[in-house]
Amino acid sequence: MNEILSQQDFDTIIGKGVTLLDFNAPWCAPCRAQEPILEKLAAEYKGKASIAAMNIDKNNEIAGKLGIQSIPTLIVFKNGKEIQRLVGLQSKDILADILDNLLN
C-alpha cells in the first residue's frame, strides 16, 4: 500500500488508472481497523489498481481541499477524477465490488 506524503505523491498516484485512497489518522480506531482490509486489497489488486493511504494530520491541506470531515474516508479515483466517496469503516467485499466495477 502506498503512503501519500505530499501533493506530488497525491497527483502521481491518483493521476493514472484506478486508485482507492484512504484518509486516516493514527489515533482513529476505525482507521486502524480499516488498515488490514486495505493491505489485503493492495495485495489482491497489485498491478490492477493502486491502494493508498494519507494521514490527515500530516496532510491536512490536501484533506481540506477535498472536504474530508470524517475519518476514515475512502475516495475512489479513476484517471484523477473522483468516482466515489465512502465514509466510515468499509468491508473488503464492498471495496472489492467498487474496484471490480471500475476495472471491468
Residue-level pLDDT, tens digit, the chain, 104 residues: 888 888 999 999 999 999 999 999 999 999 999 999 999 999 999 999 999 999 999 988 999 999 999 999 999 999 999 999 999 999 999 999 999 999 98
Residue 87 has a pLDDT of: 97
Yes or no: say if 18 and 49 are a contact pair by the CB < 8 Å rule: yes
| Given 4, 18, 21, 28, the catalytic residue | 28
Indicate if 62 belongs to the active site. no
Give the per-residue pLDDT at 70: 95
Return the pLDDT at 2: 87
> What value, to the nearest 5°, has the Cα angle with vertex 12 and ends 99 and 66?
70
Which strands make up the sheet holding 18-24, listed edge to edge? 2-3, 50-55, 18-24, 73-78, 81-87
Q: Which CATH class is domain 2-88?
A: alpha beta
Respond yes or no: is residue 28 known to be catalytic.
yes
Choosing from 13, 20, 31, 41, the catalytic residue is: 31
